[in-house]
Amino acid sequence: MNRLLLTALLPTLGASLVLSSGCDKLDEVVGEDTSINTGGSTDTGGSTDTGGSPSGPRTDGAPNCKGGGKTVVDLRLYIMNADETWTKDKVYIIYGFAATGPHKLTIQAGTKVCFGGAAPEDPKGQLEIREGGTLEIQGTEAEPVLFVPRDDTDAYGGVIYDAAALPATVQHLDVYNSGYSGSGGVIQTLGNNTEAMKLDWRNVNIYNNKRVGLVNLLGGFTPETSITVHKYGTINEGDTPPPDYYLVYPVLRMRPETVSTLTPTTLTVKDDAPAAVKYIAIDNAGGEAIDSDLRFPKIAPNLTYVLQNFILSGNESQPNTWTIDPGVKIAIASSASVSIGDFTNSKSNVNWVGTAAEPIVFTSASIYETGKAPAPGDWSGIVFNKNEYDPEVSKLDHVRFEYGGALPKDTLNSCNSQVQAMLLFSNGFEVVPGPSITNCTFDKSAGGAIRSNGGSGSSTLSTDYADPSFNNQFIGFTDANPATDPESCP
């Protein structure tokens, strides 16, 4: 049944809760029960399941979902009507979804929660924190809480927080085989409750994920958050990935405004995850203008930020600033348009300051888009628009630019030809100074390094970044493909 249709029917149908007895096959546990329960506590007694082991072997190494002598609690399209506590003496099976409503769900240490579809043959299932509800997980190192699929072949949705959900601490949770096709990921936050929705997920392990690892588009994470992503279940080494694999399966997807909450320990990705998913997608593919201050902090060393479309557009009377910390690596997608200014009257600045030991790097996203090695021209260039940044404020120091220089998405002409470079200055016919660019390296470009458009006979940048005093390095450029603007058109 369609997920939206199920939700629409809930006010009439209510939700079903069934406590079942001894069987190894969970399909048998479902039974034909048609009783209606509009919510309430799950701790209503029930007989025990004597079959199976609570953590016996599966083909993929995940714990199985057999009762092992515990009471099995079926939650079918279930909505709570009071606070609940789920305990380790029971196994909870969510069919379709279980939702908190405006209540608190506490899951105690050692509890196992299994996920299946609204019908036995449907593998999907998710836990929804709704309408001011909250989820607290009280696992321990010795007794983590387990989220597992209903059987060997299942994958499921994970945890979804709606716009009105309230956060609480999740500790020592092990998640297996989440992220079914079409799902938002293991964790998904929806709506616009930005400040409230800083997730506090501590000592969480994610195994055999099937799709997007995490989706957190709202408030980011607390400093205490620590999530470890293990082997993805989508592809193995040497397998052919599905057509939509690349740029679809990142370990994390976030809005640019929430990236500042990340730390090097927020997210750890093990080596057994494919290289093509080890990135954080900055979710702004629609190209919406960004008018708030941004900071991209340093993250785990094997993770990269990936930009698709990115337009910085602050208020003229109160400019915003995009800060990038030392050691950060940013890959720019081949289809991306990255612009400082929105070609109107906005005002934004950049503060991209690395160090000699930890430079900031702008590079190719090829490994994440196609699985192929990077090459010159994999991305176009970053455009600075005249009068939409302050050359006395914006600063680039110890930044490396590589594999860019393709034709820009917006046509910039100079000397009767299109300008190609990794940094592009759209100055029209006015000669203006550029921002401070020092100790920067430009390498493997399909075009120039720093170019400007406009002027009929010379550069429209009054700053000569090739001057030795700036200590910039230009590698692999020629007279036919100069690093900076020629003094005059040929």
- Sorted by sequence, the CB contacts under 8 Å of residue 317 that are 6+ apart come out as 347
By CB atoms closer than 10 A (0-12, 13-18, 19+), residue 2 is exposed
Q: How confident is the model at residue 261 (pLDDT cuts 50, 70, 90)?
A: very high
Neighbours of 384 (CB within 10 A): 25
Token pair of 351 as six digits:
């503060």
Please report which confidence band the pLDDT of residue 173 belongs to, taking 50, 70 and 90 as the band edges.
very high
Extended strands (E) in 194-241: 200-207, 215-216, 227-229
Say what the pLDDT of residue 23 is.
Answer: 32
**Predicted pLDDT at 59:** 54
Percentage of residues in the chain with pLDDT exceeding 90? Answer: 40
pLDDT average, residue stretch 231-254:
68
Buried b (16+ CB within 10 A) or exposed e, 219-256: bbbbeebbbebbbbbbbeeeeeeeeebbbbbbbbbbbb
CB 187 within 8 A of CB 215: yes
Our CA angle for 212, 72, 126, nearest 5°, is 20
270-279, 407-416, 477-486: which is most confident: 270-279
Looking at residues 70-83, what average pLDDT do you find? 92
Residue with tokens 């029971």: 90
Tracing tokens 């009105």 back to the chain, one arrives at 164
The CA radius of gyration of the chain, in Å to the nearest whole number, is 26
Tokens representing 52 are: 């199976």
Phi/psi at 312 (nearest 5 deg)? -90, 125
Write out the H or E segment, with its range, that includes residue 30.
Answer: helix 26-30
pLDDT tens digits along 78-135: 999 999 999 999 999 998 889 999 999 999 999 999 988 766 555 578 899 988 899 9
Secondary structure class of 318 (helix, strand, coil): strand
Going 446 to 449 to 450 to 456, the CA torsion angle's sign is: negative
Q: Are strands 71-79 and 16-20 parallel, antiparallel or unpaired?
A: antiparallel
Q: Which of 254, 245, 256 is nearest to 227 (CA)?
A: 254
Q: Which residue has the tokens 């680039």?
A: 396
Tell me what pLDDT residue 235 has. Answer: 53
Residue 39's nearest CA partner among 112, 86, 98 is: 98
Say which residue the tokens 């230009």 belong to.
474
φ and ψ at residue 397, rounded to 5 degrees:
-145, 130
Answer whether residue 140 shows pLDDT above 70.
yes
pLDDT of residue 216: 77
Looking at residues 166-191, what average pLDDT do you find?
78
Among residues 173, 178, 176, 163, the alpha carbon closest in space to that of 131 is found at 163
Q: What is the sign of the dihedral through the CA atoms of 239, 245, 247 and 252? A: negative
Q: Give pLDDT, residue 171.
A: 97
Q: Compare 193 and 29 and report the one with higher pLDDT.
A: 193
Confidence of residue 69 (pLDDT cuts 50, 70, 90): confident
Looking at residue 287, what is its pLDDT?
66
Mean pLDDT of 31-60: 38
* Lowest-pLDDT choice from 7-21, 161-175, 184-198, 285-299: 7-21
Cα–Cα distance measured from residue 490 to residue 483, given in angstroms and rounded to the nearest whole number: 16
Tell me the pLDDT of the chain averaged across its residues: 79
Q: Structure tokens of 406?
A: 């393709």
Q: Which of 406, 398, 390 is nearest to 448 (CA)?
A: 406
pTM of the prediction? 0.85
Residue 18 predicted with pLDDT over 50: no
Closest CA to 206 of 235, 236, 184, 226: 226
Instruction: Give the pLDDT score at 248.
Output: 72
For residue 9, pLDDT beyond 80: no
Looking at residue 443, its pLDDT comes to: 97
Rounded to the nearest 5 degrees, what angle is found at the Cα of 289, between the Cα atoms of 283 and 293?
85
For residue 13, pLDDT beyond 60: no
Higher pLDDT, 273 or 410: 273
Residue recorded with tokens 């606070």: 83
Domain-wise residue ranges, the chain: 1-278, 284-490
Assess contact for 346 and 388: CB atoms under 8 A: yes
Query: Mean per-residue pLDDT for 34-62?
Result: 41
Q: Tell me what the mean pLDDT of segment 299-307 comes to.
A: 95
Ranking 202-206, 319-323, 345-349, 425-429 by mean pLDDT, the lowest is 425-429
- pLDDT tens, position by position, 209-237: 876 678 777 678 999 999 999 877 555 55
pLDDT at 435 over 60: yes
For the segment 150-177, the average pLDDT, to the nearest whole number, is 83
When mean pLDDT is compared across 261-265, 321-325, 421-425, 466-470, the lowest value belongs to 421-425
Token representation of residue 69: 């002598």
The residue among 462 and 244 whose pLDDT is bigger is 462
Rounded to an integer, the average pLDDT of 353-379 is 95
Among 286, 215, 201, 208, smallest CA distance to 248 is for 215
User: Can you name the residues that pair with 138 across neighbouring β-strands?
Assistant: 108, 171
Q: What is the dihedral of CA 173, 178, 184, 185, to 10 degrees?
A: 50
Take residue 474 and report the two structure tokens written for it.
Answer: 């230009």
pLDDT at 122: 59
Taking residues 356-376, report their average pLDDT: 94
Work out the pLDDT band at 449, boundaries 50, 70, 90. very high
The percent of residues in the chain predicted with pLDDT above 70, rounded, is 73
Residue 400, CA distances (Å) to 180, 207, 305, 327, 361 in order = 38, 35, 15, 11, 5
pLDDT band at 11 (very low <50, low <70, confident <90, very high): very low
Q: What 8-state DSSP symbol labels residue 5?
A: H
CB 379 within 8 A of CB 403: yes
pLDDT-based confidence at 403, cuts 50/70/90? very high
Higher pLDDT, 267 or 198: 267
Query: Residue 414 — very low, low, confident or very high, per pLDDT cuts 50/70/90?
Result: low
Is 226:261 a contact under the CB 8 Å cutoff? no
